[in-house]
Amino acid sequence: MRIATVTGAALLALGLAAGPAAADSSPSPAAGSPAPSSAGTSFRTATEIEQGQRATADASAGDYLYWSFPADAGQRPTVRATVKLPDTHASQTWQVDVYDGLRRRQACQYGAQTRTAAAGTSSVELACVLRTVRAWSEPWANDPLPGTYYVRLTALDLPAADLGLPVGAEVRADAKDMGGAAAVDGSLSEPLVPGIAVTSRQDAADDDSGDSAVLSAIEPEDGWSSGWWSDRWVWTGIGGVLAALAGIGGYALTRGSGRPRGVPPGA
C-alpha cells in the first residue's frame, strides 16, 4: 500500500512538471492590434512584428523587404514567408534570411530557405527554423542571442524582364519554448536590441528635429528573461521530492516487523 502511494505521488509530480515544459511560447497578438501591411527597405526601417503575427506587404520584384521581431532565451524561432507572384513571369529564385541584433546572419537548422518558382507559378513558400536562442555565449561564437531578429526577403538574380513586377509578400515569425534542456549558465546584461541605448520611443516623439531614430522598440510579451528562469528549477525540485519519497519507500520495505531474529510470533 505504501509503495502504491509513493508511486502515485511520483507520477503526479512528474505530470505537473512536464505540463509547462511542453507549452509553445509564441504569444497571441494583442486583440485589436492591426497586422502590419508594409515592409521596410533596410535594417534601420524594418517593420516591427510580434511573434505569431501575420504581416503582409505589396512590393516589386527586386526589392529588399525587411521585418523585425523579438526572440528570448530558450526559444527556437521559425520564420515562414509566402510570395505571391504575377500571372506571367520567368523562373524566379526567392530567399529568406534571418539576422540577429548584431546583424549577423543566422544559419537555418532546417527549412526551405531558398526556392525557385518555375515560370507561371502563382506563389512560392519559404521557411527557416533557427537554432535555439542562448542566454549567453562566447564573444567569438555566432550563437543566436536574446534580442531583435531581422527577416530579409528578396529575389536572387532576377531576369531583367521581371524587375519591377508587382508581388505580394506574407511573413510570420513563431517561437517554440525548448525548456531547461536548452538553458545555459550566464546571461546577457542587456538583450541585443539595436538603438535601445540611444533613445527611447518617447524621446523620439518629443524630438522635433527628426534626427533621432529608434531602431527597435519591441520585446516579448512577458519582457526579457535573459535566461534567469527555466524548467530546470522545476525538475530540480521534483528530483528532491522523488529522492525523499524513495527514501521513505526504502525504509518501509526494509524495516521489517521489528522482532529479533529467532523469536516466534506471539512470544
The domain limits of the chain are 2-250
Q: 22 or 180, which is more confident?
A: 180
Q: What is the pLDDT of residue 243?
A: 87
147 Cβ partners below 8 Å, 6+ apart? 70, 71, 100, 101, 191, 192, 193
User: pLDDT for 188-219, tens place per residue?
Assistant: 777 888 765 444 444 444 544 444 444 456 77
- For residue 7, report the phi and psi dihedrals to the nearest 5 degrees: -65, -45
Residue 13 DSSP SS3:
helix
Q: What is the pLDDT of residue 247?
A: 86
Q: Report pTM.
A: 0.71
Q: What is the pLDDT of residue 232?
A: 62
Q: What is the pLDDT of residue 11?
A: 46
pLDDT at 33 exceeding the cut of 90: no
Q: What is the pLDDT of residue 26?
A: 57
Q: What is the pLDDT of residue 2?
A: 47
Going 15 to 17 to 19 to 21, the CA torsion angle's sign is: negative
User: pLDDT for 101-123, tens place per residue?
Assistant: 889 999 999 999 999 999 989 99
Q: What is the pLDDT of residue 3?
A: 47
Q: What is the pLDDT of residue 263?
A: 57
Closest CA to 99 of 118, 116, 119, 79: 79
pLDDT at 135 exceeding the cut of 80: yes
pLDDT at 265 exceeding the cut of 80: no
Intra-chain end-to-end CA distance of the chain, in Å: 27
Closest CA to 170 of 47, 70, 19: 47
User: pLDDT for 217-252, tens place per residue?
Assistant: 677 776 777 445 556 667 677 888 888 888 888 888
Tell me the pLDDT band of 126, cut-offs 50, 70 and 90. Answer: very high
Average the pLDDT over 138-158 and give the result. 91
Tell me the pLDDT band of 258, cut-offs 50, 70 and 90. Answer: low
Tell me the pLDDT band of 254, cut-offs 50, 70 and 90. Answer: confident
Tell me the pLDDT band of 25, cut-offs 50, 70 and 90. Answer: low
